[in-house]
Amino acid sequence: MKSSTFETPAAVAQPVRVSAASRRAPQPFASPRDFGGRKFVYYVVSPRARGLSIGVNMNPDRRCNFDCVYCEVDRSAPPGHDDLIVPEMVRELDESLLAAHDGALLRSPRYAALPSSLLQLKHVALSGDGEPTLAENFEEAVHAVLHLRALQKHPPFKIVLITNTTGLRRPDVAAAVNLFSGDDEIWAKLEAGTQSWFERVNRPNIPLTDVLENIRAVGLKRPILIQSLFPAVNGVVIPPDEIYHFAQRIRELKESGTQIKLVQIYSADRPSRQTDFGHLPLRTLSEIASVTRKVAGVPTEVF
């Protein structure tokens, strides 16, 4: 992709320090995932879903090739379950969908104080304790979820794949994703515009150029959402030049033909195992969104 050069606008705020203890006040969106005794399927009230998300933990082995500073998963502890057992996952998903639709969640003490609008099922998310596209039985799991949907035992549900994109060009993953309907979505993570910030926040074992190319490859075929979580790292927010580099990468993706439906800009909702990061204030997130809209010309939302 061709690089572009822009002047950093003076309107972008200069770096400020944010306490590592800075977090949003307790709220439904900050609650931990609710496995409720299940191994692979959980509930979470998601701001970006605008309601209830049923998650499928595609990586009970916690396999991931990123080590993001904001990640809530403790990879130093032994995994509770090494493998995704697809038949058991589907049974749990079937039961969870039933509970989401028959009012059982509304009657649960855990959710009794929440408005019913937040417990409306918005999607089933393929996500979990690692990078879902690295799961060895990814294709089998997708086929099983699609089959459950095709049985029409439950109201139709959207499938969302939340991914750092690194496995999207694996043949089995690509074949499975090609089975998604037009209503299903891919939420691709992109949280840096330079390799140095990428390494500081996501701590990956691949170059940023690979992530950009993976996003482009999928975005040429179908519209995608970009998910961008911006933390304060060691008390310092993302600097102005990095905000602009991020916006440039989005612009380059768009100009290369990537169909970008939306860029979601937010900070961490749930506590991390790390102590060197903090939550960005709404003002900073809004500035990132504003620069991204101006430079890249794509829709953005702040959460």
How confident is the model over 108-125, as pLDDT tens digits? 898 988 998 899 999 999
Q: Which residues contact 62 (CB under 8 A, 6 or more apart)?
A: 73, 75, 79, 129, 130
On whether residue 205 sits in a domain, the answer given is no
DSSP 19: -
On whether the CB atoms of residues 122 and 187 are closer than 8 A, the answer is: no
On whether the CB atoms of residues 169 and 214 are closer than 8 A, the answer is: yes
How confident is the model over 266-295, as pLDDT tens digits? 997 656 666 677 889 999 999 999 999 999
Say whether both 126 and 267 belong to one domain. Answer: no
- Is 81 a residue whose pLDDT tops 70? no
What tokens appear for 209 in the block? Answer: 């150029």
- Is 5 a residue whose pLDDT tops 60? no
State percent of the chain over pLDDT 70: 86
Say whether both 62 and 153 belong to one domain. Answer: yes
d(CA 258, CA 298): 11
Say whether both 185 and 195 belong to one domain. Answer: no
Mean pLDDT of the chain: 88
On whether the CB atoms of residues 70 and 150 are closer than 8 A, the answer is: no
**pLDDT value of residue 13:** 39
Say whether both 288 and 148 belong to one domain. Answer: no
Of 129, 160, 189, the position where a domain reaches its end is 189
How many structural domains is the chain composed of?
Answer: 2
Q: Which residues contact 171 (CB under 8 A, 6 or more apart)?
A: none
- Is 256 a residue whose pLDDT tops 50? yes
- Model confidence at 22, in pLDDT bands (50, 70, 90)? very low
On whether residue 127 sits in a domain, the answer given is yes
Give me the mean pLDDT over the 228-242 stretch. 92
On whether the CB atoms of residues 119 and 42 are closer than 8 A, the answer is: no
Say whether both 239 and 251 belong to one domain. Answer: yes
Say whether both 102 and 10 belong to one domain. Answer: no
Residue 195's alpha-carbon distances to 68, 79, 161, 288, in angstroms, are: 14, 30, 24, 18
Say whether both 122 and 259 belong to one domain. Answer: no
Counting Cβ atoms within 10 Å, is residue 59 exposed (0-12), middle (13-18) or buried (19+)?
buried
Order of strands across the sheet with 121-127?
A: 41-46, 51-57, 121-127, 159-163, 185-189, 224-229, 260-266, 300-302
- Model confidence at 11, in pLDDT bands (50, 70, 90)? very low
Say whether both 222 and 288 belong to one domain. Answer: yes
The identity of residue 65, as a single letter, is N
Say whether both 115 and 260 belong to one domain. Answer: no
What tokens appear for 178 in the block? Answer: 């090609």
Total length of the chain? 303
On whether residue 204 sits in a domain, the answer given is no
**pLDDT value of residue 106:** 83
Say whether both 176 and 67 belong to one domain. Answer: yes
Q: Which domain holds residue 290?
A: 1-28+191-199+210-303
Say whether both 281 and 167 belong to one domain. Answer: no
**pLDDT value of residue 79:** 64
301 or 78, greater pLDDT: 301
- Is 14 a residue whose pLDDT tops 50? no
